[in-house]
Amino acid sequence: MSRTCTLLITIADPTALLAMYGASDPTAAERTAFRRAEKQYKLYKPLNLKGRSRSKPSGGEGGGADLSAVVDFHALLAANGELPAGIGRRDCAGFDRPVFCFLDRPGFYFIPGALSTEEQCCWIRESLKTFPQPPNRTNLTAIYGSISDLLIAAKNQKILVEAENPDIQERNEQNNCGGKTESKYFKFVDSESQKGEEHRSTAATTLVRKLRWSTLGLQFDWSKRNYDVSLPHNKIPDALASLAKKMAIPAMPSGEEFKPEAAIVNYYGPSDMLGGHVDDMEADWTKPIVSISLGCKCIFLLGGKIRDEVPTAMFLRSGDIVLMAGEARERFHGVPRIFTDQQEISALISQLSSGDDVFILDYIKNSRININIRQVY
């Protein structure tokens, strides 16, 4: 079974989650070093003493967890002094940004503050406006079919309703189709126009919050856990491909250029986590995954080739880029926690405070977006 999985989960049953990631014995997996680290840093909702339910989680710094062992590459960069044992710097000809690495984990590279605030805002906008557009698929596609202009609909307070497709309905009637027909589809309408109507409906703003992933370029088939070249797709946007090629340089074999062919965009809410997994579906592991972080800060765990190796925890902030190539591609990694501390993203808040970006600003204040660009072949 492939160990690849980049689905985001709001944890309700950790045992079920571990089963998803290919653990043959979820009970045993619960006892692994990686799982203990996930539990250590996970955001726990405080118990509401007046009732059985739990109150809204606090996304602030710490939240009860001991963060003293979490590596902070931004702090190391600012200190500009001797690095802690096991951490090094990588100098790359033609690459003008600082690059950190772990000496005992070859193929993993950390580029702090790789993107300017303006670049971060650009890719946040694209991730919400353009990347979920058909033919790209999202986690919503299986439920609602292709949805166009989700962000615009959310900004305009529209709702998604189930409707009849007149053309298909007429064809079914002409052909005397019995039983189930495929005449239903979903469309955005003004909420006012649906008053008094009995339709299955969902607010567009709710659907934006329910986004968990979208796929660009070659489409990844989650049910089969492989790339399905038969699915309609557009190539990776030129600007994103150019950025990925540039940022991949520290991890690329000498004389070779990264070829972006697919990307998976993950959308994290305040309580979401990404369980430990290995990305192993691409053909050539010498080529890196280029991972761009946007929005709220998170903790990233980098483990070993087995779950029982103790992972290293580090902070990932908006604008940071991580590269994983070669041996690093075989290591379990995940995100147990995001932080909704707005001081961390004050530059983004300032940049997105204009009228056109108000909805995006409200979203990113307590969300994280991660763009993972891959060379498939």
Predicted local confidence at residue 8, as pLDDT: 55
Long-range contacts of 6-9 (CB under 8 A, 24+ apart): 6/213, 6/264, 6/266, 6/274, 6/277, 6/279, 6/372, 7/212, 7/213, 7/222, 7/274, 8/212, 8/213, 8/266, 8/267, 8/268, 8/272, 8/273, 8/274, 9/272, 9/273, 9/274, 9/275
Predicted local confidence at residue 20, as pLDDT: 39
Peptide bond into 232 cis (omega under 30): no
3-state DSSP percent of the chain in helix, strand and coil, to 5: 30, 25, 45
Predicted local confidence at residue 38, as pLDDT: 95
Q: Residue with structure tokens 């299986």?
A: 142
Predicted local confidence at residue 172, as pLDDT: 45
> Would you list which residues are annotated within the binding site?
277, 279, 333
Longest dimension (CA), the chain: 78
Give me the residues paired with residue 88 across strands: 101
Rg of the chain's alpha carbons, rounded to an integer? 22
Give me the residues paired with residue 370 across strands: 266, 293
> Would you list which residues are annotated within the binding site for Fe cation?
277, 279, 333
Q: Which stretches does DSSP call E strand in 201-261?
A: 201-203, 213-217, 219-221, 226-228
User: Residue ranges per domain, the chain?
Assistant: 33-42+67-137+212-374, 140-165+184-210
> What is the mean pLDDT, run by run of 10 residues, along the chain of 377 residues?
45 39 53 94 66 49 80 96 94 92 97 98 98 96 93 94 68 45 75 64 95 95 84 96 97 94 96 92 93 98 96 98 97 96 95 92 97 96
| Amino acid symbol at 79 | A
Alpha-carbon gap, residue 365 to 59, rounded angstroms: 11
Predicted local confidence at residue 55, as pLDDT: 46
Spacing of C-alpha 119 from chain mean position = 18
Spacing of C-alpha 365 from chain mean position = 16
Q: Measuring CA to CA, how many Å separate 60 from each of 233, 296, 343, 370, 372?
A: 39, 11, 10, 20, 26
Predicted local confidence at residue 199, as pLDDT: 65
Predicted local confidence at residue 354, as pLDDT: 83
pTM assigned to the model: 0.85
Q: What is the DSSP letter of 71?
A: B
- The domain 33-42+67-137+212-374 belongs to what CATH superfamily? Alpha-ketoglutarate-dependent dioxygenase AlkB-like (2.60.120.590)
Query: What is the pairing mode between strands 368-374 and 289-295?
Result: antiparallel
